[in-house]
Amino acid sequence: HRDLHSFPTRRSSDLYAGAIDFDLSFLGNGNYTARIWQDREYNKVSQSSQSVNAATKLSLTVQKGGGFTMIIE
């Protein structure tokens, strides 16, 4: 389950932002680790991890022209 939230853009200042919210209620009982790789400014990628479970509401910010990969283990 996911909801895509978008924000207005301003063309004159090249400011873009977006976020994706994930409802992880589809996960079974127990705790999991979400490993996330996200594009950052200037062609850099960040990696993070966090403990998640079925009650977790995860929100990711997406850069203009960027994306992310998430693995839940």
The residue assigned the tokens 């301003």 is: 10
DSSP string of the chain, one letter each residue: -EEEEE---BTTTTB--EEEEEE-TTS-SS-EEEEEEEEEGGGEEEEEEEEE-TT-EEEEEE-TT--EEEEE-
How confident is the model at residue 6, as a pLDDT? 45
Type of residue numbered 16? Y
Answer whether 4's CB lies under 8 Å from 20's CB: yes
Tens-digit pLDDT profile for residues 35-52: 998 888 777 888 999 999
Grade residue 14 by pLDDT with cuts at 50, 70 and 90: low
Full-model pTM: 0.68
